[in-house]
């Protein structure tokens, strides 16, 4: 499905306006309408970023994020929605949201964000700080 290591893969989960055309060389966008389908996609493919809408129909958004963080602790995610409450924003930040979008991001915004995320990840590997991330240690102990 993905052409090279330079390709960017984004999974949209219950995001409105996801049908908007995402046209950019090197950007693959997949969209699903349920948390269960998103988990299935995460098991099969690797994504640079998850774009999550504020209402996932089959599971609480926070339960979905918790499951994703346990199964894929390195996975970056962003919250997308016009009507995100202050409490949702606080909870999202506590759960490690990468970015909060009020409107669906453009292809260029997605490419810039994933480029920054990849640069940070590469720097972590070079600095050997990737094992010292507390979220990974917590997730591993929760699975055991």
Residue 99: CA atoms inside 13 Å, Cβ hemisphere, count? 15
Tens of pLDDT, residue by residue, the chain (144 residues): 444 456 888 999 988 665 555 656 778 888 999 999 999 999 999 999 999 998 889 999 999 999 999 999 989 999 998 888 999 999 999 999 999 999 888 888 888 888 888 887 777 777 777 654 444 444 444 444
For 8-143, CATH number? 3.40.50.2300
- Please state, in angstroms and rounded to a whole number, the distance separating the CA atoms of residues 51 and 36: 15
Task: Name the percent of the chain in helix, strand, coil, to the closest 5.
Answer: 45, 15, 40
Given this model, what pLDDT does residue 116 score?
A: 86
- Please state, in angstroms and rounded to a whole number, the distance separating the CA atoms of residues 29 and 116: 18
- What predicted TM-score, i.e. pTM, was given to this entire model? 0.77
Measured in degrees and rounded to the nearest 5, phi and psi for residue 12 equal -95, 125
Radius of gyration of the chain (CA): 15
Find the helix or strand (DSSP H, E) in which 76 lies: none
Is the Cα dihedral 113, 135, 47, 65 positive or negative?
negative
């Amino acid at each position: 499905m993905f052409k090279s290591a330079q390709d960017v893969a984004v999974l949209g989960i219950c995001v409105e306006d996801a049908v908007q055309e995402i046209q950019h060389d090197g950007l693959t966008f997949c969209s699903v309408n349920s948390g269960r389908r998103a988990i299935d996609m995460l098991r099969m493919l690797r994504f640079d970023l998850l774009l999550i809408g504020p209402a996932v129909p089959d599971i609480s958004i926070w339960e979905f994020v918790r499951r994703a963080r346990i199964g894929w602790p390195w996975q970056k995610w962003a919250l997308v929605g016009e009507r995100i409450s202050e409490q949702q924003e606080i909870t999202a930040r506590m759960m490690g949201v990468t970015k909060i979008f009020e409107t669906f991001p453009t292809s260029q915004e997605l490419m810039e964000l994933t480029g920054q995320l990849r640069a940070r990840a590469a720097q972590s590997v070079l600095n050997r700080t990737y094992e010292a991330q507390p979220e990974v240690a917590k997730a591993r102990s929760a699975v055991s």
